[in-house]
Structure 1
Amino acid sequence: MIAALRSERLILRAWRPEDFPAYAAFVADEARTRFIGGPKDEWQAWTAFASLSGEWVLNGYGIFAIEIIETGELAGYAGLWQPHYLDEPELAWGLFAGFEGRGIATEAVLTVREWAADTLGLPPLMSFVHPRNTRSHKLLDRLGATPMTPTTLRDEPRLRFRHISPATERRY
């Protein structure tokens, strides 16, 4: 069963078939995907979309759809994923066009971090971020994440960040 999380302004929930058009538009946008592997065509988008639900079956956690409570709009995604080549889950997020600069990513990441610690019993999480993704670097800095050794992930350069424990985090 896929969890549903609620914060002050957001519902983090399972993906629904009607979410596919918004997700497909996001992953087709070159500017929005330049740091996460580049744009996808419709077939690749569907495969990636279906894998979002499959992650829950394989690992017991996954990536949530972010829904704005007030409007019901789909704003992006946040959650945990662990492909076969990672030895621990990554906390990942992304916002759809028009939802940046409103604290949505911060709120979603904090909600997932707390759930991962309190419900799943996971230790402090990590995130991989492209070296040029300055928006994500700033978010991670605000949330107290610590930069670690640079690495390569699927032939792409990445900076690895370790999140702090929700028990010691600063709320923003």
Structure 2
Amino acid sequence: MSVMPVIPALSTARLTLRGPEPRDFEVLRAFYASERSAFVGGPKSPEGTWRQLAAEIGHWALRGYGRWMVTEKASDRTVGMVGLWNPEGWPEPEIAWDLFEGFEGKGYATEAARAARSYAYETLGWPTAISLVNRANTASARVAERLGAVHEGEVRHETYGAIGVYRHPAPEACR
């Protein structure tokens, strides 16, 4: 018997953000098996991917928020994972995004991250948020900048090394 945390769904003009579920294993396995996952701890074995999916679901249970699986409304294809992330060892709560192969360049990460940030600010009452971006991940840095986030320095993480910190605008500036 599995007990899933209650995860709210969000909707944008083109996307649905829904909670991660066991059925997402295959799409995540493909993502984490690819070099596309290099900036987020991949590539991973199927076992490592299963553990990552368990962490994504468990984050919702432990923190009351987390990352959503993002699907296109028009096709119901899963395009990535976007949301709120703050595991043990993180410098502070983050708005994070991973897009799957073939879905880059469509504005999906920006659209979904904007919805996630609105949820963090308006529903959870976060006073601020960051996004952590590997300095070599220029596409992700551009998403952060499109969201109005400003590079404010770097932090050193035990697993990921030096990571750029992008500070998002305050809640009142996002309304």
TM-score by length of 2: 0.92
Q: Is 1:165 the counterpart of 2:173 in the alignment?
A: no
Partner-residue secondary structure (3-state), 1:15: coil
Partner-residue secondary structure (3-state), 1:151: strand
Counterpart for residue 85 of structure 2: 81
Q: Is 1:3 the counterpart of 2:16 in the alignment?
A: no
Counterpart for residue 138 of structure 2: 134
- The percentage of aligned residue pairs carrying the same residue is 40
User: In the aligned structure 1, how far is the partner of 2:114 from the partner of 2:138?
Assistant: 19
What is the Cα deviation at residue 16 of structure 1?
2.3
User: In the aligned structure 2, how far is the partner of 1:50 from the partner of 1:20?
Assistant: 10
What is the Cα deviation at residue 15 of structure 1?
1.4
Counterpart for residue 21 of structure 1: 26
Summarize deviations over 1:91-118 as a string: whole Å, max 9, x none: 1101010100111001001000101100
User: In the aligned structure 1, how far is the partner of 2:85 from the partner of 2:135?
Assistant: 20
Q: Is 1:60 the counterpart of 2:56 in the alignment?
A: no
Partner-residue secondary structure (3-state), 1:141: helix
The letter of the residue matching 2:110 is: T
Decide whether aligned partners of structure 1 residues 85 and 114 sit closer, same or farther in structure 2, where only a CA change above 3 A counts. same
Counterpart for residue 98 of structure 1: 102
Summarize deviations over 1:6-54 as a string: whole Å, max 9, x none: 1111111011222110111001102x12212230000000010111110
Do 1:80 and 1:90's aligned partners in 2 also have CA atoms closer than 8 Å?
Answer: yes
What is the Cα deviation at residue 77 of structure 1?
0.4
What is the Cα deviation at residue 80 of structure 1?
0.8
User: Where does the alignment leave 5 or more consecutive residues of structure 2 unmatched?
Assistant: 1-5
What is the Cα deviation at residue 88 of structure 1?
2.3
What is the Cα deviation at residue 87 of structure 1?
4.6
The RMSD of aligned alpha carbons is 1.4
User: Where does the alignment leave 5 or more consecutive residues of structure 1 unmatched?
Assistant: none
Counterpart for residue 3 of structure 2: none
Do 2:21 and 2:57's aligned partners in 1 also have CA atoms closer than 8 Å?
Answer: no
The letter of the residue matching 1:168 is: A
Do 1:143 and 1:169's aligned partners in 2 also have CA atoms closer than 8 Å?
Answer: no
Counterpart for residue 52 of structure 2: 48
User: In the aligned structure 1, how far is the partner of 2:116 from the partner of 2:170?
Assistant: 12
Q: Which one of 144, 148, 156 corresponds to residue 148 of structure 2?
A: 144
TM-score by length of 1: 0.93
User: In the aligned structure 2, how far is the partner of 1:142 from the partner of 1:75?
Assistant: 19
Give the paired residue count.
Answer: 169
